[in-house]
Amino acid sequence: MLPESAAAVLAAAGVGAGSRVCCALSGGVDSVVLFELLRRLQPRFGFSLRAAHVDHGLSPNAAAWARACAERCLAAGVPLQVFRVEVERAHADGLEAAARAARHAALAQVDCDWLAFGHHQDDQAETLLFRLLRGTGVHGAAAMRAVEPGGAGRAGRLRPLLGLRRAQL
């Protein structure tokens, strides 16, 4: 089920030979599952695969997460780009929002056609709830999409796990 649901998202996006896909690899279960699925699907679709890890320096385990990602990518023969970012701790929207903004800014530097994220249904529900609680209105409360085309120098976004619950990973 996992490979086929992920394959459907890649097909819907038009990912194929010549496409450059970068997996946002935190080292957590969600992103590791996505990384392994992309590796499994790579021969079928013909895309080139790389990974990117963003080290926020917020966790005492940050260096260990970065090492684990580097080891996984090295063993798989997948290039890894590691970004170390400074997070504004006094950000008006809180530390998590500041970390997200820093992460997105770092990932925007990756030279690829598609950035793939390990978001799943549980993340979707959480995102919607937080947006509604912040009073973002109808537009701001829009759900994440499995495929968000890029444009104007911005890579598209893929969320191949979005149709799955975390327990299914």
pLDDT band for position 12 (cuts 50, 70, 90)? very high
Q: Total domain count for the chain?
A: 1
How confident is the model at residue 2, as a pLDDT? 67
For the residues 140-160, what does the mean pLDDT come to?
A: 85
Residue 154 structural domain:
2-168
Q: For the chain, what percent of residues have pLDDT higher than 70?
A: 83
Domain CATH for 35: 3.40.50.620
Supply the pLDDT for residue 164.
81
The full DSSP string for the chain is: -HHHHHHHHHHHHT--TT-EEEEE--SSHHHHHHHHHHHHHHHHH--EEEEEEEE-S-STTHHHHHHHHHHHHHHHT--EEEEE----TT-TT-HHHHHHHHHHHHHTTS--SEEE----HHHHHHHHHHHHHTT-HHHHTPPP-SEE--BTTB-EEE-TTTTS-GGG-
- pTM of the model as a whole: 0.86
